[in-house]
Chain A
Amino acid sequence: MSGLRELYQEVIIDHSRQPRNFGVLLDANHHKEGFNPLCGDKLKLYVVEKNGVIEKMQFEGSGCAISVASASLMTEVMRGKTRAEVEAIFNDFHQLVTHGHNADVESRLGKLAVLAGVAEYPARVKCATLAWHTLKAAIADDPQAVSTE
Chain B
Amino acid sequence: MMIDFMTLRADFPLLQQKNRGKPLVYLDSGATNQKPQSVIDAMNQYYISDNANIHRGVYELSERATYQYEKVRHDIKEFINAAHTEEIIFTAGTTAGINLVAQSYGRSKLKVLDEIIVSAMEHHSNIVPWQLLAEQVGANLRVVPITDNGEMDLEAYEKLFTARTKIVAIAHASNALGTINPLKQMIQIAHAHNVPVLVDGAQAFPHMPVDVQDLDCDFYTFSSHKAYGPTGVGVLYGKQKLLEKMPPYQGGGDMIESVTFARTTYSKLPFKFEAGTPNISGVIGFGAAIRYLQQVGMQNIAVHEAELLAYATQQLVTIPGLKIIGTAAEKVGVISFVLDGVHPHDIGTILDDHGIAVRAGHHCAMPVMERFNVPATVRASFGLYNTHADIDALVSGLKDVLRLFK
Which stretch, A48-56, A60-68, A139-147, touches the partner chain B?
A60-68
Q: How far is the CB of B361 from chain A (nearest CB, A)?
A: 6
Which stretch, B57-65, B181-189, B281-289, B337-345, touches the partner chain A?
B337-345
Which stretch, A25-33, A70-78, A85-93, A121-129, touches the partner chain B?
A121-129
CA distance A127 to B344 in the complex (A): 12
Residues of A within 8 A of B344 (CB): 39, 64
Q: How far is the CB of B3 from chain A (nearest CB, A)?
A: 36
Which residues of A (1-57) have their CB < 8 Å from a CB of B?
Answer: 2-5, 7-8, 13, 17, 38-42
Residues of B within 8 A of A38 (CB): 361
Inter-chain contact A39/B375, CB cutoff 8 Å = yes
Q: How far is the CB of A104 from chain B (nearest CB, A)?
A: 27
Chain A proximity mask over B319-356: 1 for CB below 8 Å, otherwise 0: 00000000000000000000001111110011001000
Q: How far is the CB of B397 from chain A (nearest CB, A)?
A: 11
Inter-chain contact A40/B362, CB cutoff 8 Å = yes
- Asked if B369 is at the interface (CB within 8 A of a chain A CB), the reply is yes
Interface size class of A (residues with CB under 8 A): 20 to 34
Contact of A65 among B346, B362, B376 (CB under 8 A): B346
Inter-chain contact B343/A63, CB cutoff 8 Å = yes
- Asked if B261 is at the interface (CB within 8 A of a chain A CB), the reply is no
CA distance A13 to B406 in the complex (A): 9
Q: How far is the CB of B31 from chain A (nearest CB, A)?
A: 14
Among B342, B344, B349, B353: residue with most chain A CB under 10 A: B349
Inter-chain contact B342/A65, CB cutoff 8 Å = yes
Contact of A7 among B342, B349, B375 (CB under 8 A): B349
- Asked if B2 is at the interface (CB within 8 A of a chain A CB), the reply is no
Which residues of B (127-170) have their CB < 8 Å from a CB of A?
Answer: none
Inter-chain contact A40/B349, CB cutoff 8 Å = no
Contact of B345 among A2, A8, A64 (CB under 8 A): A64
Among B344, B346, B350, B361: residue with most chain A CB under 10 A: B346
CA distance A39 to B353 in the complex (A): 19
- Asked if B360 is at the interface (CB within 8 A of a chain A CB), the reply is yes
Residues of A within 8 A of B349 (CB): 4, 7, 121, 123-124
Residues of A within 8 A of B343 (CB): 39, 63-65
CA distance A2 to B376 in the complex (A): 27
Contact of A4 among B345, B353, B369, B376 (CB under 8 A): B353
Inter-chain contact B376/A39, CB cutoff 8 Å = yes
Chain B residue at smallest Cβ distance from A121: B349
Inter-chain contact B404/A39, CB cutoff 8 Å = no
Which residues of A (91-148) have their CB < 8 Å from a CB of B?
Answer: 121, 123-124, 127
CA distance A5 to B362 in the complex (A): 26
Residues of A within 8 A of B341 (CB): 17
Inter-chain contact B350/A127, CB cutoff 8 Å = no
Residues of A within 8 A of B404 (CB): 4-5, 8, 13
Residues of A within 8 A of B361 (CB): 38-40
Contact of B346 among A8, A42, A62 (CB under 8 A): A8
Residues of B within 8 A of A66 (CB): 345-346
Chain A residue at smallest Cβ distance from B374: A40
Chain A residue at smallest Cβ distance from B353: A4
Residues of A within 8 A of B342 (CB): 65
Residues of A within 8 A of B (CB): 2-5, 7-8, 13, 17, 38-42, 62-66, 121, 123-124, 127
Which 7 A-B pairs give the minimum distances between C-beta atoms? A40-B375, A64-B343, A64-B345, A4-B353, A39-B345, A40-B376, A65-B346
The 24 listed contacts between A and B (C-beta, < 8 Å) are A2-B353, A4-B353, A8-B346, A8-B404, A8-B405, A13-B404, A13-B405, A17-B341, A39-B343, A39-B344, A39-B345, A39-B376, A40-B362, A40-B375, A40-B376, A62-B375, A63-B343, A63-B375, A64-B344, A64-B345, A66-B346, A121-B349, A124-B345, A124-B349
